């Protein structure tokens, strides 16, 4: 399937953000819901993932706003000021529009489906909260990047891409 330029821009921005932090990953761990054969499963957070409960709540809240076609509220309320300086609101809204054009409107997601990737980079702790989302014409993986500060209130990165198959165990 051909990647649209908007989707490529999203991926480029997240990679640029990570690279600007020095590009050095010191260690990481991952956790996700579901068995080996299925990553689109709701289940309670594991013992290792409970500390990311608020990141899951914020991710779900963002998806609810996107489902209501309110990318403006997401941008204003949930995008970190540093990310806002790199990504204008029109660009952010364009990313959402690109996904909607390619996959159709956001239909649903499972609130207790979750995945987290946690790592340190140049002394900064980071966490990605992954949500699998049903659109009219396919499934999309949404990745919400937060500083691992225990608050998980604002995004420092955001990207989406088509879900192709099941993520391997331990990969969100």
pTM: 0.83
For the chain, domains (ranges, CATH) are 5-20+28-33+48-162 (3.10.450)
Say how many C-beta atoms besides its own lie within 10 A of residue 93's C-beta: 14
Q: What is the pLDDT along the chain (172 residues), one digit of tens a residue?
A: 444 445 444 444 444 444 444 444 345 688 899 988 999 999 999 999 999 999 999 999 999 999 999 999 999 999 999 999 999 999 999 999 999 999 999 999 999 999 999 999 888 899 999 999 999 999 999 999 999 999 999 999 999 999 998 887 666 6
Please tell me the predicted confidence (pLDDT) of residue 126: 95
Cα 68 to the center of its chain, rounded Å: 18
> Do residues 143 and 1 touch, judged by C-beta distance below 8 A?
no
Please tell me the predicted confidence (pLDDT) of residue 21: 42
């Amino acid at each position: 399937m051909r990647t649209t330029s908007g989707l490529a821009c999203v991926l480029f921005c997240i990679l640029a953000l990570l690279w600007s932090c020095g590009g050095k990953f010191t260690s990481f761990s991952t956790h996700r819901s579901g068995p080996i054969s299925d990553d689109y499963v709701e289940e309670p957070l594991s013992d290792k993932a409970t500390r990311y409960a608020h990141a899951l709540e914020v991710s779900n809240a963002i998806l609810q706003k996107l489902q209501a076609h309110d990318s403006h509220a997401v941008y204003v309320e949930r995008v970190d000021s540093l990310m806002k300086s790199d990504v204008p609101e029109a660009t952010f809204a364009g990313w959402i529009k690109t996904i909607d054009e390619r996959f159709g409107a956001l239909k649903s997601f499972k609130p207790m489906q979750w995945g987290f990737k946690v790592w340190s980079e140049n002394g900064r702790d980071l966490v990605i909260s992954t949500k699998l989302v049903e659109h009219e014409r396919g499934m999309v993986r949404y990745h919400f990047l937060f500083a691992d500060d225990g608050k998980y209130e604002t995004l420092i990165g955001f990207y989406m891409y088509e879900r192709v198959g099941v993520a391997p165990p331990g990969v969100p």
